[in-house]
Chains A and B, each alone.
Chain A
Amino acid sequence: MKIKEDNLGGRIFNILNYAGLTLLFIICIYPFYYIFIYSLSDPVEAQKGITLLPAKVTLNNYIEIFQLKNMFHSFVVSVLRTAIGTGITVFSCSLFAYIVSKEELPYKKIIYRFVIITMYFNAGIIPYYLTMKMYHLNNNFLLYVVPSAISAFYVVLLKTFMEQLPPALEESAKIDGAGYFTIFTKIIFQVSTPIIATIAVFAAVTQWNSFIDNFLLVQNPKLRTLQLVLFEYFNQASQIASASKEDLARGTVVRKITPETIRMTITMVVTLPILCVYPSMQRYFVKGLILGAVKG
Chain B
Amino acid sequence: MAKSWVSLRKGIIGKKKSRDGAILLWMALPFILLVFAFSYVPLFGWIYSFYNFKPGIPLDKTPFVGLDYFRILVTEGREDVIRVLKNTLTLSFLLILCSPLPALLAILLNEVKSKRFRKIIQTTTTLPNFISWVIVFSLAFSMISSEGLVNKVLINWHIIKEPLNVLGNSGTVWPFQTAINIWKNVGFGSIIYIAAIAGIDNELYDAAKVDGASRFKSIVHITLPGISSTFFVLLLLQVSNILSAGFEQYLVFYNSLVSNKIEVLDYYVYKLGIVTSDYSYATAIGMLKTVISIILLFSVNYISKKARGTSII
Contact = CB atoms under 8 A, between A and B. Distances in A.
Contacts, number: 232
Interface in B35-51: 35, 37-46, 48
Given A125-B266, A267-B138, A231 B252 contact: yes
Contact of B127 (A13, A123, A135, A278): A278
B137 A234 contact: yes
Interface of B: 17, 20-25, 27-28, 31-32, 34-35, 37-46, 48, 55, 105, 108-109, 111-112, 117, 120-128, 130-132, 134-135, 137-143, 147, 149, 152-153, 156, 183, 187, 191-192, 195, 198-199, 209-210, 214-216, 247-248, 251-252, 266, 269-270, 273-274, 279, 282-283, 286-287, 289-290, 293-294, 297, 313
Secondary structure class of chain B's binding surface, majority of residues: helix
Contacts of B42: 123-124, 127-128, 130-131
A31 B286 contact: no
B251 to A, nearest CB: 8
A118 B46 CA distance: 16
Contacts of A150: 31, 34-35, 38
B35 A104 contact: no
B143 to A, nearest CB: 5
Interface in A13-60: 13-14, 17-18, 20-21, 24-25, 27-29, 31-32, 34-35, 38, 49, 51
Contacts of A32: 127, 139
A158 interface: no
B302 to A, nearest CB: 14
B27 A181 contact: yes
Contacts of B134: 211, 227, 230-231, 234, 270
Q: Choose among A29, A99, A263, A264 the residue with the greatest number of B CB atoms under 10 Å from its CB.
A: A99
Contacts of A289: 191-192, 195
Secondary structure class of chain A's binding surface, majority of residues: helix
Interface string A59-99: 00000000000000000000000000000000010011001
Interface stretch (A2-10, A162-170, A185-193, A245-253): A2-10
Contact of B120 (A20, A25, A208, A278): A25
Given A211-B132, A230-B134, A270-B135, A124 B289 contact: yes
A146 B37 CA distance: 11
Contacts of B270: 125
Nearest to A217: B274
B39 A105 contact: no
A139 interface: no
A197 interface: no
Contacts of B279: 126, 130
Interface string A103-134: 01111000100110010111111111111010
B35 A124 contact: no
Interface of A: 3, 5, 9-10, 13-14, 17-18, 20-21, 24-25, 27-29, 31-32, 34-35, 38, 49, 51, 92, 95-96, 99-100, 102, 104-107, 111, 114-115, 118, 120-131, 133, 135, 146-147, 149-150, 179-181, 205, 208-212, 216, 227, 230-231, 234, 260, 263-264, 267, 270-271, 274-275, 278-279, 282, 286, 289-290, 293-294
B28 A35 contact: no
B195 to A, nearest CB: 4
12 contacts: A5-B214, A5-B215, A104-B20, A104-B21, A106-B21, A125-B273, A131-B42, A181-B27, A205-B130, A209-B130, A230-B134, A290-B191
Sorted nearest first, the 8 A-B pairs with minimum C-beta distance are A127-B45, A124-B286, A123-B42, A209-B132, A126-B273, A31-B139, A118-B39, A127-B42
A24 B135 CA distance: 19
A106 B25 contact: yes
Contact of B48 (A49, A130, A133, A212): A130
Nearest to B240: A120
Given A38-B142, A264-B142, A124 B215 contact: no
Given A127-B42, A205-B130, A209-B131, A51 B153 contact: yes
A130 B274 CA distance: 10
A173 to B, nearest CB: 14
A121 B294 contact: yes
A27 B247 contact: no
Contacts of A205: 130
Contact of A263 (B45, B138, B286): B138
B261 to A, nearest CB: 19
Contacts of B44: 127
Contacts of A180: 20, 23-24, 27
A125 B269 contact: yes
Contact of A127 (B210, B283, B293, B294): B283
Nearest to A147: B38
B199 A127 contact: no
A25 B124 CA distance: 6
B39 A99 contact: no
